[in-house]
Structure 1
């Protein structure tokens, strides 16, 4: 094993995981999503590439492809980054009949069973490069650090079936039954619903070991062939991969928990800063009259309120100001006959006046010389249940807009 390469890969993985998680924390306040959990199960097939292998990817489908399955749990810090753990169990099978020259017979087959545990960092390529969107398809990748064991594996003579070496005799022959791994994954995620996703991914699993198939070099196997008396096994076999490799292709289902979009709360102004006079025209809502709710206490008898009809001719005297403030309590496209039934249980200290303008009947009460007095009375009526009460201004019984100077009175 090349110690320089190993140290370089470990350093690269550490910096990648640290950088991704630091970046996620830095941008946490700027992202519109809360963190979420992803739980998934997957299944597919596995293929082995190493010393006991001389077939390409497609050719391995003719007998050298076995089942693989596993589970995964992942924490998403935001819509881009995540960190997770997974477990994978796979069967491996590979045959090598000839050496690289295609003439010299080898006649070995590897039958393996691996258990693989990994921790990994996650990056959503679609959101990272093109911005977040509610896509049906997202592309992603993972990079991790793992541990794999292949107890239960064996190397046999493909002609006779005789066991050359297996996990029980590996230590005696200076072979290991486990290794550190570097898994790298590329995947696609299809949205089935807001929480359920279908995933398709391919993983390249690189072992920091050449011992998975119990085949390392000619000297090692010269000892083995003498022990097991397998003929025609040359001492100078030098071909093969420096590290064993496993490819995993999986289809899975994942369920997401949490991660809903944060709702931006509207900031409410203090009551003293709220503007009760609408700046733009408002739509008039026809209120429905409902039956009184069940009462728990005896009501005070309130005399019926009558609507004062404004006089046809107003006598202007010096005592009448240029304008007055009122509190509007109701508006309707049809005229109300008699008392306001919708507010028949509300006490009003002043008569209710009716004004008609632009096809709308407006009903207001009170007559105040200062805006502060009118606003205080509007709050009083709101507390009594007249929630739409707000301050308006009239001049000569005609509605006018309230200005900043008028509020200073």
Structure 2
């Protein structure tokens, strides 16, 4: 069992290393968790021969505690838990049901553990928002107890460490706790947990009695309330171009917004404008010839319903230009960038492919309407 204890320590270390490596690539949920829990505890050892259901008649006591946990990513995490509770168990007869045993055990305990956390729902079925998430934990810990072993018939104390430790008996032990639970989402940062735990003490002396199975066992059932916090989930939400973007940053969003709001073609607007005002915008904004004629963009996604680029898809991709949405016959097309030449757009399409958008390709737009690309357009410098 001690080998298993050290093996679990190694597993926890591997969880930390893999979790940190993954977290550098992608993270989409609050990383920190704190919580409090309460419930029941039962004892299984030498001073016990009842099934778990029978223990609800007088041999089930309280248990409560708190935890803190860091989630490296939506699948794995590492936590620290502290717990306090009480135990009671009585064994009037041996397993044959007739031979007198006449012992009872009453104790209080404190348990602290370090554990690895695995979100089973995200691990097996993919990362997504669910009402219920199933999870498991496995850890190593240490148990301290203060208890009294006595005769049922006379209440005579056989062994106790309430004043001094019994000679030849331990009063603490390393443990291996394992849990299974379900988390219920109450709010974006609040979850209710229902959890069952089996804690194996690496000692046969929790009840101050050595016999039979060499490891005493405690079991718990808890209800907990957990709060999640941390701002890492906002890292990929902003899709606007960075401050270092060139001349397209101030003009492309303005042009696209105008096209999205005003559906009339520019020719109609020009026809209603006095001739004397036509030269003014040309001299003020000489760089508009690319967009007033046609422009090249890089299409990155298309879908029959709207989708949030950078949130629902491509959360880990860095975009250098704003994302533009265009609709046509119920199809939502998403493109980025604005280029005068086909070669520039093609180079940026390759950049997007290298960042993980393998279907990125060059498209052309005139007046915010997609048009076919001709050889003459490709050859324009």
TM above 0.5: yes
Aligned with residue 210 of structure 2, among 206, 213, 216: 216
- The answer as to 2:235 corresponding to 1:262 is yes
The answer to whether the Cα contact below 8 Å between 1:126 and 1:139 also exists between their aligned partners in 2 is: yes
Task: Note if 1:374 corresponds to 2:286.
Answer: yes
Distance 1:333 1:135 in 2: 53
1:280 and 1:194 mapped to 2: Cα distance? 32
Instruction: Tell me which residue corresponds to 1:126.
Output: 121
1:319 corresponds in structure 2 to none
Matched, 1:271 2:257: no
Counterpart residue number, 1:365: 280
Deviations 1:218-259 (A, max 9, x none): xxxxxxxxxxxxxxxxxxxxxx32100000100010000125
Correspondence for 2:303: none
1:160 pairs with 2:154: yes
Aligned counterpart for 1:179 among listed residues 173, 184, 187: 173
Decide whether the 8 Å contact of 2:148 with 2:162 is kept in 1: no
CA distance in 2, matches of 1:215, 1:334: 100
Change (3 A) 1:334 1:12: farther
The alignment partner of 1:18 has SS state of helix
- Aligned counterpart, 1:352: 277
Equivalent runs, 1:273-312 vs 2, <5 Å: 282-285=259-262
Q: Is the 8 A contact 1:51 1:213 kept in 2?
A: yes
How many aligned positions are there?
297
Contact 1:35 1:75 in 2 (8 A): no
State the shift of 1:365 in Å: 3.2
C-alpha distance in 2, partners of 1:168/1:86? 25
For the pair 1:70 / 2:42, whether they are aligned, the reply is: no
The CA distance in 2 between the partners of 1:56 and 1:71, in whole Å, is 28
Shift of 1:169: 6.8
**Partner Cα distance (2:159, 2:40) in 1:** 25
**TM-score of the pair, normalised by structure 2:** 0.68
Name the SS of the counterpart of 2:233 in structure 1. Answer: coil
How far off is 1:133 after superposition? Answer: 0.6
Decide whether the 8 Å contact of 2:34 with 2:226 is kept in 1: yes
Aligned counterpart, 2:77: 82
1:15 matched to 2:10? yes
Partner of 1:247: 219
Indicate if the aligned counterparts of 2:9 and 2:139 stay in contact, CA closer than 8 A: no
CA distance in 1, matches of 2:188, 2:225: 13
Cα distance in 2 for residues equivalent to 1:245 and 1:38: 28
The normalised TM-score by structure 1 is 0.64
2:189 corresponds to = 195
TM-aligned CA deviation for residue 113 of structure 1 = 0.4
Comparing 46-55 with 271-280, greater Cα deviation is found at 271-280
Query: After TM superposition, which residue ranges in structure 1, 4 or more long, deviate above 4 angstroms?
Result: 266-269, 272-281, 328-336, 401-408
Equivalent-residue separation in structure 1 for 2:198 and 2:64 (angstroms): 15
Q: 2:49 aligns to what SS in structure 1?
A: coil
Tell me: CA distance 1:251–1:405, structure 2 relative to 1, closer, same or farther (3 Å).
closer
Equivalent residue of 1:27, what SS?
A: helix
**Is 2:192–2:224's contact at 8 Å kept on the other side of the alignment?**
yes
Q: Residues of 2 paired with 1:214 and 1:279: CA distance?
A: 78
CA distance in structure 2 between the partners assigned to 1:254 and 1:160 by the alignment = 45
Q: Choose which of 92, 96, 116 in structure 1 pairs with 2:91.
A: 96
Looking at secondary structure, tell me which structure has more helix per residue.
2
Is residue 31 of structure 1 aligned with residue 4 of structure 2? no
Give unpaired runs (5+ residues) of structure 1.
Answer: 218-239, 287-327, 339-349, 354-363, 379-389, 393-398
1:135-177 Cα offsets, whole Å, 9 max, x none, are 01001111111111112x1011111111111014764431111
**Worse overlay, 259-268 or 84-93:** 259-268
Over aligned residues, Cα RMSD in angstroms?
3.9
